[in-house]
Structure 1
């Protein structure tokens, strides 16, 4: 995707469309994924639960952009409130794509990403956060977890079925499969 297409996508994006378009123009054709993050006390909190960005660009006091290389896994949580309390909880586990991959358009993520898990609403988000905490308690970094597990977790959430555990054995099987030529 060229810089003109990135700029067009950025123009329709939400919170930080103009700064992201400028960053995309500077990318020089590098297949990077730009993820918007923001924090306004008692109103909005867009943050990374896990993920290892190559850099974070501070746009102003409230907004930042995390930059991810192709193939990187990350989780962004979105929380919104108004004068009466929380109005939105959202958790997305995504994988940054290369220009040849099929990517979904996600507001605040340029040029897009592969969405592997989407949880909407406080109970669903809290259930996924509990699973992430359990995975990290095993000594496994959440970015290294199998994308198939995240998809399964999302499908189980949608079907309101019990959520599967991520075990050390499942992780070892994933790492063995990744090591195959």
Structure 2
């Protein structure tokens, strides 16, 4: 699997106060179907077999889910979704392989757009910032710019600092 696919998986499933975890089913059949987590901190991993596993994320966790598939004629699916795991009672959008679903911060398909998002994630990591801690508004900005065919702005340390200060100021 991708060397950067998972960070922080634990072997024991904790009981969450809300009683709900967001589960993501990952499948890996080399050069056929490949689902992986580009960033995120799973708190549980369940291995179903050598090609399939389920990662669990607590409410509020942000993660990037990449889906790619091909057939004999080439790539048929190339997508990335950046999601926030929802709390019990929150509204959410459904996605294949994600139970129950999540709050979509960014959603794009087609390799050029997916590659652009992957490069933006790399740039955030190069700043020494964990992409799970980046401002949700930034991911929405990237989504909107890509949808409009415009280039998204880069994430900056100053933007990240402002986001962290806003979080502390909220009740």
Q: How many residues align?
A: 156
Alpha-carbon separation, structure 2, partners of 1:121 and 1:45: 15
Q: Which residue in 2 is equivalent to 1:136?
A: 125
Q: Is the 8 A contact 2:95 2:101 kept in 1?
A: yes
Alpha-carbon separation, structure 2, partners of 1:71 and 1:170: 20
Structure with higher Rg: it is 1
Higher helix share: 1
Alpha-carbon separation, structure 1, partners of 2:157 and 2:144: 21
Alignment gaps of 5+ in structure 1:
1-25
Alpha-carbon separation, structure 1, partners of 2:139 and 2:18: 30
Residue 152 (structure 1) aligned to one of 141, 149, 164? 141
Query: SS at the partner of 1:59?
Result: strand
1:64 and 2:66 matched: no
**TM-score for both structures, normalised by structure 2:** 0.88
Query: SS at the partner of 1:86?
Result: strand
Q: CA RMSD in A?
A: 1.6
Q: Which residue in 1 is equivalent to 2:85?
A: 96
The change in CA–CA distance for 1:58 and 1:27 in structure 2 (over 3 A counts) is farther
**TM-score for both structures, normalised by structure 1:** 0.83
Alignment gaps of 5+ in structure 2:
1-14
